[in-house]
Structure 1
Amino acid sequence: MSMRFTPLLLATAVLGGGLGMAGTAAAHGTMTTPASRVYACFQGNPENPTNPACAAAKAVAGSQAFYDWNGINQANANGNHQAVVPDGKLCSGNNPTFRGLDLNRSDWSTTPIQPDANGRFTFVFKATAPHATRDWRFFVTRDGWQPGSPLRWADLQEFCTLGNTPLSADGTYKLQCTLPQRSGQHVIYNTWQRSDSTEAFYTCMDVRFEGSGGGTPPVAQWQDAGPVTARGDLPVGTTLALRVFNAGGNDVERVETTLAAGQTTPAQWPLALARKVNASAQQARVGVLRDGVITPVASATENRVYLKAGQRFQLDTRVPDTGTPPGGGNGTFDYVYPAGIGSYKAGETVVKGTDGKLYACRPFPQGGWCNVAGEAYRPGVGSAWRDAWIPY
């Protein structure tokens, strides 16, 4: 008898183990600070929810979704979140298991939220299975959105994007963002896109904004300081630096980003710069001002720099050293602009501009302008380029 039942027992053990491993592999995480909608329901007694909205969600889809709080995902998102998660299904991530979370109610449990003295807030994501990350993106409902209304992509405005973030020793990702100016009850929506897979995860957080924290000025106090204008492709590895100066001309802040593949076109490199600035700068924001939120966009001309009153900025561009010696290796040009700025010789140096054309540094004394960095003297395209260069 034991021989007849052993295979069945083994099969049951393997099947049970397999299911257990599959459940673990499918579990990935959720936001715990502020508590996500699903995590708040899990913490509030999954079988007999104390929150009426959670009770309604249980009536629609059962309590299992609360126990599976770490699995709101789409396997084939690949960054195309609006394609795989339609309007009205954002909180469930269009995953039927979690459909109760999409109920349009104003009585979901909310978490008070306010920025620190620097205008920032640290989101905490509890990771039951960490992954390599392409990006974390944070959105907030627009001013005028009413709690209990259907949640649509058009209701959301992006306010923070972060890249790959190290996992903390306590098994969480700590994600620091500058909070947008809001008051009262809103939804903060987060997408987590893996870089090692097309899989993405989705989180709804019901929050109540309480106070400014005294650090970040209201949008009304940001002054439009001018555009970020992309006039051509930049090489992979190019370093962009936004420098902010006070009224006396002193440096007060510098934010750098290095372009990776996919970030080098005229529409994409301003977006990469803007996201880095908005995620880390205290003195500057870059993007398009709409409804009180400064949002970066993929555009060669639409993004603008916003500073505090009396400040100004400069954008420095440094292309990677390709190892090509002066003369370009074939005697046609000495540098790919702006590489080598500071060592250009009046009347001698020839550069290849970002428009692909060649330019010679003017003879002395005008040639001194060749070594001045900045968009105004970018050969062929800057507003004052003819003061420094002549076509070659």
Structure 2
Amino acid sequence: MANSTVSPHVSKLNIVVASLLAGHAFVSTSVEAHGYVLSPESRSYACKTGSNTNCGAVQWEPQSVEGPSGFPEYGPADGQLASAANGAFSPLDIQSPSRWSKTDMTAGWNKLTWQFTANHVTRNWRYYLTRQDWDQHQALSRASFDLAPFCVVDGGMVQPAKLVTHDCYVPEGRGGYHVILALWEVGDTSNSFYNAIDVNLGSDPAEPQEWRDVGDINPSLDLKPGDKVMTRVFDAHGEQTAKQTLITISDATQGNKQNWPFLLASAINSQQVQLSAGQKNTAGDIVPVYGKNDIFTLIDSDIETVEIGFQLAPAPDNQLEVSSLTQDVQIIDAKAQVRFDVTTNTEMQVSGYLFSHDGTAAGFVEQAVNNTSASFLLDVINPKVGHYHLQVKGEPRQGDIIQQNFDVFLKDKQPEPEADFVFPQGLQDYVAGTTVLQPKTGKIYQCKPFPYSGYCRQWTTAATAFEPGVGTSWTMAWTEL
């Protein structure tokens, strides 16, 4: 299809009338037409290429941002224009000065290219530009845009080629961050495709740009205290270490993936002459922002690219120990409990997961353990005789998750051996020769003669060293029968 350009002065009324007339000539059907703006990269396509991150489902189907036609009178609601009111693509509606990657563009004639994966007959393409004073912190709405399209291309109700380029005149007198809302109104459905395009707009097309984009600072991961992040600057001869900028993370707040890019960009701006980092504001100035920052170099510099490198501090020596776990657990009155103790050398959120032999979830328990020991009691769901897996997982504030796995066997209740007491019942009556049944092991223990018999009564929930069968010093007080 030959490119055709309609004057930016075409009235909005003519567009609406044309759409209504076309609507009477064609009955809407459920035809899957799909496409996106390839160049300059639309917000959705930049999610596919990786220029934008944390986008959700649209990174796999940028061609599917489809919603009801009729903008600006009808169409998606304010706050949902970027996603076309499609809930699956709602992350596209998040708006801030630094959330999305941007393409440098100057006012005047520009080429905008659509890629179609299903190129159905077309009514028209329309392009809208944000106002100079639009609120960059609010989700895109009709109030964000000049509602007279700056470019309209008639589709002629014919099927376009798979790749179509439009020559459009972008208005002068605006600068800095702007959004172009590109609409493709297909001719055989009642829907349109909505593409937000994030651009850094130069106010004068004849004015040479002082800076050119040579890299990105992406909020790719959280860093921990002691980690280092730095620029790696390359020219035609290789890496120029003298132009490196490096910062060291001092605490978790600095290490947040939205914070350290701001700190690195600020350090670049204070230390380097040929480099500047941040996002261009409405005045065209490059200022550091939280989240994604671009890296620019002077237009006449020999710097070709800037990459980001990391030196991650060694992971802390986190330790987690599981003890007092009885592998053979009795089912009593259709109930069973798995008991174990956990000791850590740092603050961790410790979880215990129980699975039956076939992988069915059979129980869960969780609590915080901070450089101490804690007892866990896990109730088994619908206990049945057989083999189970116990997974104990510790999640420290810093460092990798620790995971340990154990076998547990559920058995029917066996006849209880005769004993004087079931531990710890009757604790103060324990004397030499007293026998107790330990529920944790199912075994009977006898209190040793004097002078060891005094240890038999030395037990509390916080001091378990002499607990029969399981305490760290139980053999000093008891004999297993």
TM range (shorter): 0.3 to 0.5
Pick the structure with more helix per residue.
Answer: 1
**TM-score (norm. length: structure 1):** 0.41
User: Larger C-alpha radius of gyration, 1 or 2?
Assistant: 2
Higher relative contact order (CA 8 A, sep 6+): 1
**TM-score (norm. length: structure 2):** 0.34
Pick the structure with more strand per residue.
Answer: 2
